[in-house]
Amino acid sequence: MKTGTRNGLLLLGCLLAALVALGPIVWAFSTSLKPTNRIFQVPPELIPSVSTLDHYARLISEGVHRAFLNSGLYAFLAVAVALVLGTVAGYSLARYPIPGKQLVLVLFVGAMAVPGFAVLLPTQLLFVNMGLYNTYVALPLLYAGHILPFAVWVTRSHFNTIPRELEQAAQIDGYSRFEAVWKVVLPGAKPALLAAATFGFLHSWNDYVTATTMVDTPGLRTLPVALIFFQGFHGRDWGALMAGVIIATIPPVVMFLLFRKYLIGGFADGSVKG
Amino acid sequence: MTTAVEISVDSSRALDSVARKTRIVGSALVGPALILVVAINVLPAFYGFYLSLRQVFFFGDEGYVGLQNYVALFRDPFAWQAMGRSLIFTFGSLVIAVPLALVSAMGIRRLGKWGSILLTVLLVPWAMSPIVVALLWKWILVPSPGGLVGAVFAAFGMPPQDLLTDPILAMPTLILIAVWRNFAFAAIILTGGLGQIPRDLYKAAAMDGLGAWEAFRKITLPLLASSLLIVISMLTISYFNEVQTIIGLTGGGPIRQTTTLGYLLYHTGFVELDQGRGNAIAIVMFMINMLLIALYIKILGKQPGAAA
């Protein structure tokens, strides 16, 4: 009896929590499908009796899809650079004697802890002076720098758990060291690599403040920046704005749902070992 | 230690050169990542300090002014107000997020498989872009009976309120949205921490006649201390530096009520383009961040569980 009420309460709490977490997103989706004259309908209607894709079409006619592609391109480049450099560095930190290794590790952990925002203003002036401001390289470069410490950390943690004998056995079988790592060690590092890739994608795709301060031309804008500009011009066009919210939310949420296991594992791992 | 074959005649000299070679290879492999991280995350902090000692306006450097930017900042009542707003925002969010994350983590643990599904659902807002979250909540809070919150007000027979332009309610509203966005991230780490507490302890406690509350106080809390500290430190730093949802939701208003230090930095440096002064704020924020990190490392270092 007592455990019955307890479980009932737990279930109720869970449903409420899920409703609070997803309710606003579902509501935004519903709004994005309603014809403009029904958006402010009283009482509000969750499932639209009349639905339309006009708002999504409008975003395309305003050129927002260009920003969508930019966001994807920047995130892809940043993740690719961070994964390659991060894996190599993570492997090296796990296997090689490196002078000043402790200091290097502290640097990576410290860089992970300091949020990029605190150094964004000097970065902007630096980029202006170096001619990197408002270029296609600016954002992928910065995002790669933000993601790298985490990539180094998860890959190093992973390589630390792999016995050296595995590579040595492969080398005795006639593989070069590089082949041994590529064919024997790296496939096992998939969870660590996916954790870093997912984290990196979410960081890059979801950023607004770096993007809005580092590029200026409409052609270079990312999706969040384009949506804020759109809001500036059409602040009351809630249908199109919510369509924008939905298209900006689908890629990171899908990525998160696909790889959540690795991402959550990576965070739990990093925090326990940190 | 890579190849035993190379050790031939003069073994000690050969070993020496092998060791040097591996050191060079190791450094060369770490090099590129280290250079990029230092260039992107560390150098700008020093450059920012240099700029904070100069008068820089609209990308034009007008020369060295010593500590003038800092003096002006410390004399500015608005800067102190922003510091106060940062503290309210940071600790207000923490006070709600941490207990909520703890309760959720305990529920998630108890539910087993369904719990991990719930955790995934709760994490969806965390996977979203903060500025997109701001856009979304602007629509949820729109002051009209046709909006979601407006409809709730209407159900209670009240006129719709504009929470984001209300001088008293704007800050609590921002806090709740910040908690909605990322408390579940804290729940991940706490769920992991709870999983490491042996279940036998609770059985033993039950046999000793300890109630649920006492078991929570005497077993769960002490054994969860290191995870809790990690969570508190991560959230403190994240809330202290929050700026994107504030830009999107209130723009620091109404009447500066939501102008935190982070927003003041954004406004001074990127909107007013007073970059000398902005960099002084950035350095102050950077120092506070370092102080918080150092403080937490010190506290965490004393925890026996953290050494694992």
Residue in the block written with tokens 């969806």: B124
Q: Are A10 and B113 in contact (CB under 8 A)?
A: no
Give me the pLDDT at residue B9, please.
52
Residue of A nearest to B297 (CA): A274
pLDDT tens for residues A18-31? 999 999 999 999 99
Residue A15 sits in the same domain as residue A74:
no
pLDDT tens for residues B193-221? 888 888 888 888 888 888 888 888 888 88
Give me the pLDDT at residue A273, please.
36
* Mean pLDDT of the B114-139 span: 93
Q: pTM of the prediction?
A: 0.90
Residue A232 sits in the same domain as residue A177:
yes
Nearest-angstrom CA–CA distance, A81 and A73: 12
Residue of B nearest to A37 (CA): B146
Residue A88 sits in the same domain as residue A2:
no
The answer to whether B146 contacts A17, with C-beta atoms less than 8 Å apart, is no
Give me the pLDDT at residue B303, please.
54
**pLDDT at residue B138 greater than cutoff 90:** yes
**pLDDT at residue A271 greater than cutoff 60:** no
Mutate to test the interface with B, among A38, A40, A96, A225 (most CBs of B within 10 A): A96
Distance from CA of A154 to the nearest CA of B (A): 14
pLDDT tens for residues B53-73? 998 888 888 889 989 999 999
Residue A161 sits in the same domain as residue A173:
yes
A213 CB-near residues (< 8 Å, 6+ apart): A120, A124, B270
Residue A110 sits in the same domain as residue A21:
no
Average pLDDT, chain A: 89
Q: How many domains does chain A have?
A: 2
B159 contacts in chain A (CB < 8 Å): none
Residue A105 sits in the same domain as residue A129:
yes
Give me the pLDDT at residue A44, please.
81
The answer to whether B41 contacts A141, with C-beta atoms less than 8 Å apart, is no
Give me the pLDDT at residue A1, please.
46
Give B302's pLDDT tier (boundaries 50, 70, 90). low
B38 contacts in chain A (CB < 8 Å): 107
Residue A16 sits in the same domain as residue A128:
no
Residue A27 sits in the same domain as residue A77:
no
Distance from CA of B73 to the nearest CA of A (A): 17
B20 contacts in chain A (CB < 8 Å): none
Residue A77 sits in the same domain as residue A211:
yes
Question: Which of B59, B131, B279 is opposite residue A228, by nearest beta carbon?
Answer: B131
Question: Which of A111, A113, A118 is opposite residue B282, by nearest beta carbon?
Answer: A118
Residue A46 sits in the same domain as residue A175:
no
* Mean pLDDT of the A140-144 span: 96
**pLDDT at residue A268 greater than cutoff 70:** no
The answer to whether A242 contacts B136, with C-beta atoms less than 8 Å apart, is yes
Percent of chain A with pLDDT over 70: 96
Task: Look at the alpha carbons of A22, A24, A26, A29 in this order and tell me if their dihedral is positive or negative.
Answer: negative
Residue of B nearest to A214 (CA): B270
Paired strand residues for B32: none
Give me the pLDDT at residue B60, please.
85
Q: Confirm or reject contact between A231 and chain B (CB < 8 A).
A: yes
Nearest-angstrom CA–CA distance, A82 and B37: 10
pLDDT tens for residues B161-191? 889 999 999 999 999 999 999 999 899 889 8
Give me the pLDDT at residue A2, please.
63
Give me the pLDDT at residue B15, please.
75
**pLDDT at residue A7 greater than cutoff 70:** yes
Paired strand residues for B202: none
Residue A67 sits in the same domain as residue A134:
yes
pLDDT tens for residues A45-90? 888 888 889 999 999 998 899 999 999 999 999 999 999 999 999 9
- Separation in Å, CA A178 to CA A168, A170, A184, B247: 11, 10, 10, 48
Give me the pLDDT at residue A211, please.
96
Interchain CB contacts (distance < 8 Å): A and B: 261
Phi, psi of A181 (to 5 degrees): -70, -45
What's the CATH number where A160 sits?
Answer: 1.10.3720.10
HSE toward the beta carbon, residue B304, CA cutoff 13 A:
2
Q: Are B51 and B276 in contact (CB under 8 A)?
A: yes
Give A167's pLDDT tier (boundaries 50, 70, 90). confident
**pLDDT at residue A170 greater than cutoff 90:** no
**pLDDT at residue A172 greater than cutoff 50:** yes
The answer to whether A96 contacts B25, with C-beta atoms less than 8 Å apart, is yes
| B304 vs B87, higher pLDDT | B87
pLDDT tens for residues A197-223? 999 999 999 999 999 999 999 999 999
Residue in the block written with tokens 């590029």: A215
The answer to whether A252 contacts B128, with C-beta atoms less than 8 Å apart, is yes
Out of A135-139, B110-114, B239-243, pick the least confident.
B110-114
Residue of B nearest to A39 (CA): B146
| A246 vs B17, higher pLDDT | A246
The answer to whether A42 contacts B114, with C-beta atoms less than 8 Å apart, is no
**Considering only residues 53 to 82 of chain A, which have any Cβ-Cβ distance to chain B shorter than 8 Å?**
81
In this structure, the strands spanning B54-57 and B60-64 are antiparallel
Give me the pLDDT at residue B305, please.
43
Give me the pLDDT at residue B301, please.
63
Give me the pLDDT at residue B306, please.
39
* Mean pLDDT of the A105-130 span: 86
Residue A75 sits in the same domain as residue A36:
no
* Mean pLDDT of the A129-142 span: 95
pLDDT tens for residues B224-269? 888 888 899 889 999 999 999 999 999 988 989 999 999 999 999 9
B137 CB-near residues (< 8 Å, 6+ apart): A24, B177, B249
Average pLDDT, chain B: 87
The answer to whether B38 contacts A107, with C-beta atoms less than 8 Å apart, is yes
The answer to whether B241 contacts A272, with C-beta atoms less than 8 Å apart, is no
The boundaries of the domain holding residue A108 are 55-273
Q: What is the DSSP letter of A211?
A: H
Q: Are A119 and A213 in contact (CB under 8 A)?
A: no
The answer to whether B36 contacts A104, with C-beta atoms less than 8 Å apart, is no
